[in-house]
Structure 1
Amino acid sequence: AYMIVYQKWESWKESEKTIAAIIAINTVVFAAWQIPILRPFMRRYFVHDPLSGRSITLLTSCFSHQEFWHFGLNMMALWSFGGLVHDYLGREQFLAFYLTTGMAASAVSHVFGLSMRRVRPVLPSLGASGAIYGCLSATAMLYPDASVYVVFLPFLPIKIGYALPALMGLDLAGILLRWRTFDHFAHLTGAMMGLGYIKYGPTNIW
């Protein structure tokens, strides 16, 4: 059995191995959330609370999902889009892009959360959505005619070049209407980071 797993692993592309490793980290963190005795630790070190004074959670929260639907959707999206971006950037640059995008999304959410605390409560945040949005928007820049499928409309393919503006529009509406189910600031930041990096990053940064 070990040899079968090893041979399967060795047959994967470099991008598949990298994405699988990121998913594995997220899986371990998700599993830790399911152990009641660990939850105080998880809330302290794997949720970013702008009022806590902790900075490490800007990073650790990007690998943290408490609910299965959140974990499942993000990991499915990462597997779908992350490899395409990885193949374009290479492993080292992709990892730098992924981590930077996730942390930037957390940081912008942090700043706007504090700046708006007089009109809305400051909510803790967690999840890989900022980094995932970065991968999604990067894919839209690289392959705008690629088709994606909406979870609730699996029979209806949509070009990613159209899907991304629609998603960003929903997040903008979420900010203006003060929806609180998702971290819309993080989503938009991730998307903008992805668009900006693909346009300028490979030639001007890396």
Structure 2
Amino acid sequence: MLQAARIDFGPAQSTSVQICYDPFNVYHLQFQRLWPTTLFTLAVISLCAWYASTYVPPEHAVRFMKDYTPSLATALTIFSINFGFWLMWAWPRAWPLMNKYMTMTPAYPRAFAALGNVFSHQSIKHLAVNMMYLMTIGVWCHDTVGRGTFLATYIAAGTFGSLSSLWYYTLTRNLTSSSIGASGAMLGILSLWCITENRDRLTIPFTSISIPISPRMFLCIAIIGEIFMMRAGKTPTVDHVSHLGGYAAGIVSGLVWKYGDRWKNKERSQDVMERIEEKVDGEKR
């Protein structure tokens, strides 16, 4: 017969535990969470800037999707990648990989997740909304700025949005949150399109309805609305900080694309004038 053993721990004693708050240890832990992803994001943005400035469109004969325009081919490729990772979320064996590298989690962040989560969606609704923007505004923007700037902005805006979210939730000690989705990247593309597009009216997609508002004014309204929704706290499942980071990256990309050539031409003209002045001074001597 089995008998339960009784263990006597003696009389209960009350003990008090004093927890010491060490600011240095807290800041050290925050730094450990932030620096790998920060360095990774800076590297990604640097590579994106290099890619945008050196990209040369391929000849039509060597293109993979010859029957589609470059903008539509790019959008369909991005859509296929996002759809593929959405399917992987339905495969339980892929969950460890998806949670590790395709989800940004402040509690235990991994640097590659800042880029990986940009192509990760768990719900079909989330995927459909982002891909709808990609197939409309994304295609329009691609036609304006070209593939190099478009892809560079898409990846840089998404990664920077992830980094912004990581910094915010780490510093506010909201480590239980997680973030996935291409919203930051798409809002970066929206900002890029609004900055580079010169028109006085906007047309609602798939309709003939136009409203008397410029793209830049629409962008300002969108950013103000994003900040208002964030402050109101009505949408706790939306990563507004990542959205704002995407907006910021897209604005910078648009300004560089729009005014970069002017700055370069101005520098070239200044160099020419300096050489002319040096030549004139040399002849006088």
TM-score interval, normalised by the smaller of the two chains: 0.7 to 0.9
SS in structure 1 of the partner of residue 255 of structure 2 = helix
CA displacement at 1:81 relative to structure 2: 1.2
Q: Is 1:181–2:244 an aligned residue pair?
A: no
Aligned partner of residue 204 in structure 2, secondary structure: strand
Taking only the aligned residue pairs, the percentage that are identical comes to 27
Alpha-carbon distance between aligned partners in 2 of 1:63 and 1:198, rounded to the nearest angstrom:
22
Question: Is the 2:141–2:189 Cα contact (8 Å) retained in structure 1?
Answer: yes
Task: With a CA cutoff of 8 Å and minimum separation of 6, indicate the structure with the bigger relative contact order.
Answer: 1
- For 1:130, the equivalent position in structure 2 comes to 184
User: Which residue of 2 is the match for residue 169 of structure 1?
Assistant: 224
Matches within 5 A, 1:38-187: 38-117=94-173, 120=174, 122-143=176-197, 144=199, 145-148=201-204, 158=211, 159=213, 161=215, 162-178=217-233, 179-187=235-243
In structure 1, distance between residues paired with 2:203 and 2:209:
9
CA shift, 1:40, in A, is 2.9
**What is the letter of the counterpart of residue 140 of structure 1?**
C
Instruction: Trace 1:15-54 onto structure 2 (pairs within 5 A).
Output: 15-54=71-110
Distance in structure 1 (CA, Å) of the matches to 2:172 and 2:181: 21
Partners of 1:148 and 1:160 within 8 A in 2: no
| CA apart distance, 1:170 | 2.4
Say whether the 8 Å CA contact 2:202–2:210 is kept in structure 1: no
Q: Secondary structure at the match of 1:11?
A: coil
Deviation at 1:155, TM superposition (A): 9.3
**Hey, what's the Cα distance between the residues in 1 that align with 2:257 and 2:194?**
16
AA matched with 2:220: P
Q: How many equivalent pairs are there?
A: 194
Give the gaps of 5 or more residues in structure 1. 1-8
RMSD (CA atoms): 2.7
Closer/same/farther in 2, CA of residues 52 and 89 from structure 1, 3 Å limit: same
SS at match of 1:10: coil
The two structures have a TM-score, normalised by structure 2, of 0.61
Distance 1:146 1:155 in 2: 10
Q: 1:180/1:95 Cα in 2 relative to 1: closer, same or farther (>3 Å)?
A: same
Shift of 1:149: 5.2
Q: Find the residue that maps to 1:188 and give its secondary structure.
A: helix
Deviation (angstroms), 1:166: 3.1
Task: Give the Å deviation of 1:122.
Answer: 4.1
1:187 Cα deviation (Å)? 0.9
Whole-angstrom distance in 1 between the partners of 2:251 and 2:175: 30
Aligned AA (2:194): A
| Cα displacement (A) at 1:37 | 2.8
Asked whether the 8 Å contact 2:118–2:181 carries over to 1, the reply is yes
Superposition TM-score, scaled by structure 1 size: 0.83
